[in-house]
Structure 1
């Protein structure tokens, strides 16, 4: 049996938590469910502090007014956070530029 990497475990956790957070099992999250998910799983990376900050995050994810948060929306946030963290780490450690392609 193969051992999962920390990254694979983290991705599995985020996917599992997203699907567990939906109270109505529709496959989408309500804003409060989404806010609770971020607070429990990404408290240090995603700080919105206010409803305006949360609104900005939802807008960047492509979530329309009154729309549920789909997994596609959620995954776009994960990509944004990962890209941001990559940039911070690259700057912090003076790493070479990356040729990675993010889909």
Structure 2
């Protein structure tokens, strides 16, 4: 190693994934603590295209916001977003492991 070179920490895939979730949320929220529904729909469209059709109309968006615990007229916090990620992770895990007897008991409390 050359003198003065910085040692960069090695992060696990999981740590990098968590960092990506937090970074993308705050980028979509224009570095704020919450985002409005337009910012949320744009982020979903860009980052979760397989899920985007769910929130492209008012009825679908309203249902997702309710599942996330967002009250009508309120902005979306990271905690709300995390509830959505939890739900999506459990569903994806279940789909990927249908043929196996493995079940995910991951529930956000």
Query: For residue 21 of structure 2, what is the aligned residue in structure 1?
Result: 14
Distance 2:11 2:61 in 1: 36
* Superposed displacement of residue 8, structure 1: 3.5
Taking structure 2 as the reference length, what is the TM-score of the superposition?
0.78
Query: For residue 88 of structure 1, what is the aligned residue in structure 2?
Result: 95
1:4 aligns to 2:12 (yes or no): yes
* Superposed displacement of residue 2, structure 1: 2.6
Q: Which stretches in structure 1 are left out of the alignment for 5+ residues?
A: none
* Cα RMSD for the two superposed structures: 2.0
Which aligned runs of 4 or more in structure 1 are off by greater than 4 angstroms?
Answer: 99-103
Larger-gyration structure (1/2):
2
Distance 2:30 2:37 in 1: 11
Q: Which stretches in structure 2 are left out of the alignment for 5+ residues?
A: 1-8
Distance 2:86 2:34 in 1: 18
- The structure 2 residue matched to 1:98, chosen from 91, 98, 103, is 103
